[in-house]
Structure 1
């Protein structure tokens, strides 16, 4: 059961990281492994942010988990671009 949870985190995180990188214009700089990392960290960040606003992220289901990861991935990529100063040329 635990391995299914890990596999689900990798799949949802990878998809959210990939779509987030497309939305934020950083897809050319990332590979599949970095997309997964961004998506999983984005899920943690998104869950924390939604929790601050009182949103129950634990009982939201697969689609809400994906949206949480996607929002968190976009925020993470925005912050990375802000700190590193990289912009699209």
Structure 2
């Protein structure tokens, strides 16, 4: 069952990265970049949720948290690129 957690992390990471890409620029980035953006976004979203005292439950809650974190990540990267 441990491998299933890893597979779910990859699936949620790819979906979160793709959704964040579509939200921020109108399209995704490709499988690997979507995965990286989603996984880093998941960590960032978890940190933001912990600061706000919010808890995510279930796969959908984790997906929402990951997308939020990935959008914030892409927003920060876009701000750094402009300078």
TM-score normalised by structure 1 residue count: 0.86
Aligned-pair distance for 1:3? 1.1
Aligned-pair distance for 1:31? 1.8
**Once superposed, which parts of structure 1, at least 4 consecutive aligned residues long, lie more than 3 Å away?**
none
Return the alpha-carbon distance in structure 2 between the equivalents of residues 49 and 72 of structure 1: 8
Structure 1 gap ranges (5+) = none
Residue 41 (structure 1) aligns with: 40
Give the aligned length.
83
TM-score normalised by structure 2 residue count: 0.92
Structure 2 gap ranges (5+) = none
Please report the RMSD computed on the Cα atoms of aligned residues, expressed in angstroms. 1.6
Deviations 1:15-56 (A, max 9, x none): 01001001100636x221000110011011001101101112
